[in-house]
Structure 1
Amino acid sequence: MKKILILAALLSASFSYGQRTEGLDPLIQNVYGREIQSLNGYWNYFADPLETGYYDYRRRPDPNGFFKDKQVDNVTTWKEYDFDLSPVMAVPGDWNTQVYQLFHYEGMVWMRHKFPAVREAGKRNYLYFGASNYLTHVFLNGEHVGDHEGGYTPFNFDVTDLLRDGENTLVVAVDNKRLPERVPTIICDWFNYGGVTRDVMLVSVPERFVESYTVRLKPGTVDTVEAFVRMNRKQAGQRVGLAIPELKIDLQGTTDADGIARFEKRARIGLWSPESPKLYAVEIASDDDRVEDEIGFRTIETRGREILLNGKPIFLRGISIHEEAAFRNGRIAKVEEDRTLLNWARELGCNYVRLAHYPHNEQMVREAERMGLLVWSEIPVYWTILWEREDVYANALNQLDEMIERDQNRCNVIIWSIANETPHGDARDRFLSSLAAYAREKDPTRLISMAMERNDKSPEVLSVQDNMNKYVDIISLNEYVGWYDGTNEKIDRVRWEIDYEKPVMISEFGGGAPYGRHGEATEIWTEEYQADLYRKTLRMIEERMPPVSGISPWVLKDFRSARRLLPQTQDGFNRKGVISDRGERKQAFYVLQDYYKTK
């Protein structure tokens, strides 16, 4: 993807801003609507903590590394690895919960998968990874295909020239080490699951194919569909069609010199909403290619301190969610595990979910869309990262681009979030304002936000004051009065002053309690204390805050976190869930559920 210059007027940084990771092919959108061959299954693996298979003994890249999967007899010729003798693990999946010895492992793991393929004339073939945490080196049939940095966004590589008729050998080296220059950085409050954690597939497309498309309401209208279709070749005169049969739309057009065709058509459109999650069958076709999707239409905007969905004020009844499976507590690996969490959110009475703190899998977003759940989607610019580093910014920008590119047609995604709980400072402001400008330029039809920290006016007059207020559409804040700030009695003593005439959301509040631990409402770590915190906080929101447009308490389910060390209470889990890691509802679940019945 060519270098994209961010709005220069916003910047005074000492380095230029960003582009996608070097060497990546443009992302193919809607791969589930393509001709695909799943490469999921059981892959051979072994851990390589010294990266012996990648570097030689002088720490130079080894041209005959483990990716060659060299076959020898170990009698007349030796090698010190053997995929054929190695154990297997499921892909998609994390190695931490599949292999006891790797539960806390951080480093390189080699994985191999053999698969058959048939090469077809006139077709191009791409290796597509839904996500792999964190740094991934990909090799096919002994040759380097490409690398990807970032653990939660999709990437693909054109392997047409490397693919063989018959058996193929795919080798990946996945490295989940935490480093200060990574995004997220060396500290975070969730589990660092390593591995190929989402679907892997071989995608077959024609030589000329629909690479990406945007189908949406034309901004400022509720009765006009506009669409932009990008072909993989930058060439004028390519024929492209757009059909939405239910809306009686059947349009033909041609691409410009950039390979983009544009469409516009008025129609009587049923708008998507949580109460009526209407989706339309959409077909995009060129002379050689055809893609089908289901797309909804809605408007989202702000007016003063209100959020408007389809022109009407909406209160976002939400909950925050981590992409961790219920019951088994590993990285989600199948759509049924997505549905479990989303159904719990619906049981709470939610019309909205904050998918924190990184882009969740594509099926999670699509399932939420079908269920009528609005979505906040976020990149893992979390806490304190290296704001001055050009490569760190480029990495964050790449993850933002991949998140938007994948989900730009999901009408339930209404908020792109660019950060969570970041420290104030000039370098941070330049970094985040540039991300906000890029997101707004790439997608002007959604709201921009970030989870800010409190900056109080006095111990009992709470507030948020952040230079980023100028660049976001919603003032979202994480507040933990009663947990990290005093006890529950303080909640009844504070009031709020927020000076920005923009919608206010509470992106997080909450407190921890293991399921089944009971005591007085004044005793922390009990269900009673957690439930009392929720009652008092919800009353504070109603009585002593400026109008609030939504909340997403922290968090739906207890989840693993290596930061949470208190024996017999946390035991490696963040216990702020309103549901336990075993699916048990805590008292706070019912407090929140009752509140949402009134909203």
Structure 2
Amino acid sequence: MRKLHYLLIALLLVTMKSSIAQQAPLIQNIQARNVLSLNGRWNYIVDPYENGYYDYRHEAFDATTSGTGGFYDDKKPKDKGELIEYDFDYSPTLNVPGDWNSQVEKLEMYEGTVWYRRKFNAAVKPGKRYILYFAAVNYEAHVYLNGKKLGMHKGGFNSFQFEVTGKLKAGENFIVVKADNTRHQDEIPTINTDWWNYGGITRDVFIAEVPDTYIADYKVQLAKNDAAHIEGYVQLNGNDLSQDVTLNIPEAGIKTTVKTDATGRAVINIPVRKISYWSPENPKLYSVNVAAGTDNVSDKIGFRTIQVKGTDIMLNGKSVFLRGISIHDENPLLKGRNRSTGDLKMLLTWAKEMNCNYVRLAHYQHNEEMLRLADEMGLMVWAEVPVYWTISWENPATYQNAENQLTGLITRDINRASIIVWSIGNETPVSEPRLKFMGNLASKARSLDNTRLVAAALEVHRKGNEAIVDDPLGEKLDLVSFNEYAGWYWGGDPSGITKYNFNIKYNKPVVITEFGGDALSGYHADANTRWSEEYQEALYKNQIAMLSKITALRGMTPWILADFRSPRRQHPVYQTFWNRKGLISETGKKKQAFFVLKSFYDELEKKYK
């Protein structure tokens, strides 16, 4: 019966293909183009019954013969007798980018449909193409331009776009977006998460102008385990696909011209004479220009190698310890998704103050600007997709969704030197269907990019005083990376956890992707009193002592940099819908454990110099 259910879902996907297929392939570095920002105030209508999408027979307006009747028409009465039961002009506004939960008190816990509308003026030039770009909408977005549907997108954290050439008008236009953050079992992520389900248009929106034939994608990175060659490709999109493409890196003395083939693709392979390699100590970025015909794109790119040798992680051929911390895409001070470069930089600056050289951007795709800042600030990155906890492992549509999100992440960020790990998931339970699902994701990641490490946050299992890591998925990964919560969810109080030893099956570098415990900032007691800063401080001291016994330990990202909101965390005194495992409070105050980790990282920095 279950297989029949999933077969029907697969058939439904085929019928939906007409709208999904209209999504344009992601353009590399699209924000570097000539763009018209659509950020700002958008009118919105809350629609829990989806009256703007379905008629009273629950048939979608945009699937009817006329294709009219929904809120996306932004219709006005023709005369005083016409009945229209919505009006965007008189509706309130939300700021974009931003989530609705933190902007409107009555929507704080709302999950469902909200309609957005934005009017704007555009200049349309002959010989140019236009791309409507969304950096993220959570979760399912139906997008309409001037009353006509462009398509639908699923995925709350990855970018998507539609070509609007021929649909965009010179003068006034309007965009309507149906955003629905309802959780579903078969989606990515699934129903059950430990973070706030912020709904809405949470990242930038703009229209990009490109030539008729443009540079759609490029990769300019050091070859796999080879610091002496830059390898990559350039991909054109348009009618004139056979062109000369010039790659210019003036500061490195590199300039080369290659010819694209009939599909618009050209392969790059350039010897490197002298180059300054990117690292946390030297986050060197080069100005890189790619030109083809009337199009050219500039980027800032760093060059480094990352590989595993035995139990060592090698950055530019030198063993490195990943002094890290986990981060959510949330500003604790303002309660909501990060809205600006300032929000993002604040979080990474806090990590640098702790002497981190590495961050885990959990549990989903973070803002592209976050990766560019990590490049500039010298922070290595673990980048992840939200294959989280218990997924519908046997549903082909669920797998395709996960693969699409992974592909989008790698496509968008493939030129970011800071990213050293592609993560395919977090805390997924061992089973044969899950092994196949995750194994296929690992293979997909390697097929898209063979220059970085592939990992996942695994779980431990306990027997007596042993914490056992024996997950068959580990065979397919480059790191033994796992979460463990000794001293909080198991193992008794902090003083007793040093008796535990780790039995790890794989002879690979060990990276602890999570450990920690909650502390309410400003609550002080003895080291055995839960929720106190002293308890969290003792937990960190004893975790460090326990983990230091692992000879292959090469990194950690404790959970988590800052307190964040979660509906799962309901204690009325200590949590109040906040996960308090942060080392920094929601007011920006550093807890005592922050300084324990910083001291440990200071010593590690000396050791690995």
TM-score, normalising length: structure 1: 0.95
| Matching residue of 1:454 | 460
Unaligned 5+ residue runs, structure 1? 1-14
| Matching residue of 2:341 | 335
Question: Which letter maps to 1:411?
Answer: A
1:287 deviates by 0.7
1:45 deviates by 0.2
> 8 Å contact 1:326–1:341 — kept in the other structure?
no
1:73 deviates by 5.7
1:234 deviates by 7.9
Give the length in aligned residue pairs. Answer: 583
1:545 deviates by 2.0
> 8 Å contact 1:235–1:255 — kept in the other structure?
no
Q: Secondary structure at the match of 1:193?
A: coil
Q: What pairs with 1:377-456 in structure 2 (closer than 5 Å)?
A: 377-456=383-462
Q: Secondary structure at the match of 2:36?
A: strand
1:26 deviates by 0.3
Question: Which letter maps to 1:275?
Answer: E
Q: Give the Cα separation in 2 of the matches to 1:541 and 1:422.
A: 22
Q: Give the Cα separation in 1 of the matches to 2:73 and 2:488.
A: 53
Q: Secondary structure at the match of 1:307?
A: strand
Please point out which of 569, 575, 580 is paired with 1:570.
575
Please point out which of 190, 193, 201 is paired with 1:196.
201
Q: Give the Cα separation in 2 of the matches to 1:22 and 1:104.
A: 33
| Matching residue of 2:243 | 238
Please point out which of 498, 508, 511 is paired with 2:504.
498
1:307 deviates by 0.5
| Matching residue of 1:8 | none
| Matching residue of 2:5 | none
Q: What are the Cα deviations for residues 45-104 of structure 1, in whole angstroms up to 9, with x where unaligned?
A: 011001110111111111221101111167221100000000001000000000111100
| Matching residue of 1:55 | 54
Tell me the percent identity: 48
Q: Give the Cα separation in 1 of the matches to 2:579 and 2:603.
A: 29
Q: Give the Cα separation in 1 of the matches to 2:515 and 2:73.
A: 50
Q: Give the Cα separation in 2 of the matches to 1:98 and 1:236.
A: 46
Say if 1:151 and 1:137 are closer, same or farther in 2 by CA, change over 3 A: same
Q: What are the Cα deviations for residues 563-594 of structure 1, in whole angstroms up to 9, with x where unaligned?
A: 00000110000000000011001000010011
Q: Secondary structure at the match of 1:497?
A: strand
1:142 deviates by 0.5
| Matching residue of 1:584 | 589
| Matching residue of 2:94 | 89
Q: Give the Cα separation in 2 of the matches to 1:241 and 1:446.
A: 26
Q: Secondary structure at the match of 2:216?
A: strand
Q: Secondary structure at the match of 2:504?
A: coil
Please point out which of 520, 539, 557 is paired with 2:545.
539
Please point out which of 247, 257, 261 is paired with 1:256.
261
Q: Give the Cα separation in 1 of the matches to 2:180 and 2:225.
A: 45
Please point out which of 359, 364, 379 is paired with 1:373.
379
Q: Secondary structure at the match of 1:253?
A: strand
Quick check: 264-273 or 346-355, which moved more?
A: 264-273
Quick check: 544-553 or 267-276, which moved more?
A: 544-553
Question: Which letter maps to 2:327?
Answer: I
Question: Which letter maps to 2:469?
Answer: V
Unaligned 5+ residue runs, structure 2? 1-9, 62-66, 605-609
> 8 Å contact 1:497–1:546 — kept in the other structure?
no
Question: Which letter maps to 1:343?
Answer: T
Q: Secondary structure at the match of 1:439?
A: helix
Question: Which letter maps to 1:58?
Answer: R
Q: Give the Cα separation in 1 of the matches to 2:505 and 2:184.
A: 37
| Matching residue of 1:3 | none
> 8 Å contact 2:422–2:453 — kept in the other structure?
yes
Residue 151 (structure 1) aligned with residue 156 (structure 2): yes
Please point out which of 289, 292, 311 is paired with 1:305.
311
Q: What pairs with 1:546-565 in structure 2 (closer than 5 Å)?
A: 546-565=551-570
| Matching residue of 1:5 | none
Q: Secondary structure at the match of 1:333?
A: coil
Q: Give the Cα separation in 1 of the matches to 2:253 and 2:232.
A: 15
1:39 deviates by 0.4
Q: Secondary structure at the match of 2:346?
A: helix
> 8 Å contact 1:326–1:340 — kept in the other structure?
no
Question: Which letter maps to 2:116?
Answer: M
Q: What pairs with 1:154-303 in structure 2 (closer than 5 Å)?
A: 154-233=159-238, 237-267=242-272, 268-303=274-309
Q: Secondary structure at the match of 1:401?
A: helix
1:329 deviates by 1.8
Q: Secondary structure at the match of 2:469?
A: coil
Q: What are the Cα deviations for residues 312-331 of structure 1, in whole angstroms up to 9, with x where unaligned?
A: 11000000000001311210
Q: Secondary structure at the match of 2:199?
A: coil
Q: Give the Cα separation in 2 of the matches to 1:143 and 1:376.
A: 39
Quick check: 65-74 or 551-560, which moved more?
A: 65-74
1:547 deviates by 2.0
Q: Give the Cα separation in 2 of the matches to 1:220 and 1:151.
A: 34
Residue 27 (structure 1) aligned with residue 41 (structure 2): no
Q: Secondary structure at the match of 2:399?
A: helix
Question: Which letter maps to 2:34?
Answer: E
Q: What are the Cα deviations for residues 404-447 of structure 1, in whole angstroms up to 9, with x where unaligned?
A: 01000001100000010001111101100000000001100000
Q: Give the Cα separation in 1 of the matches to 2:451 and 2:375.
A: 17
Residue 142 (structure 1) aligned with residue 147 (structure 2): yes
Q: Give the Cα separation in 2 of the matches to 1:75 and 1:353.
A: 59
Quick check: 217-226 or 227-236, which moved more?
A: 227-236
> 8 Å contact 1:234–1:258 — kept in the other structure?
no
Residue 475 (structure 1) aligned with residue 474 (structure 2): no
| Matching residue of 1:463 | 468
Question: Which letter maps to 2:134?
Answer: F
> 8 Å contact 1:235–1:257 — kept in the other structure?
no
Say if 1:257 and 1:73 are closer, same or farther in 2 by CA, change over 3 A: closer
Q: Give the Cα separation in 2 of the matches to 1:490 and 1:408.
A: 43
Residue 352 (structure 1) aligned with residue 351 (structure 2): no
Q: Secondary structure at the match of 1:77?
A: coil
1:223 deviates by 2.1
> 8 Å contact 1:235–1:258 — kept in the other structure?
no
Residue 529 (structure 1) aligned with residue 535 (structure 2): yes
> 8 Å contact 1:129–1:198 — kept in the other structure?
yes
1:344 deviates by 0.2
Please point out which of 81, 100, 109 is paired with 2:105.
100
Q: Give the Cα separation in 1 of the matches to 2:271 and 2:550.
A: 42
> 8 Å contact 1:236–1:254 — kept in the other structure?
no
Residue 319 (structure 1) aligned with residue 318 (structure 2): no
Question: Which letter maps to 1:429?
Answer: L
Question: Which letter maps to 1:52?
Answer: N
Q: Give the Cα separation in 1 of the matches to 2:225 and 2:327.
A: 32
Question: Which letter maps to 1:102?
Answer: L
1:334 deviates by 0.4
Q: Secondary structure at the match of 2:137?
A: coil
> 8 Å contact 2:495–2:538 — kept in the other structure?
no
1:225 deviates by 1.6
Q: Give the Cα separation in 1 of the matches to 2:249 and 2:551.
A: 43
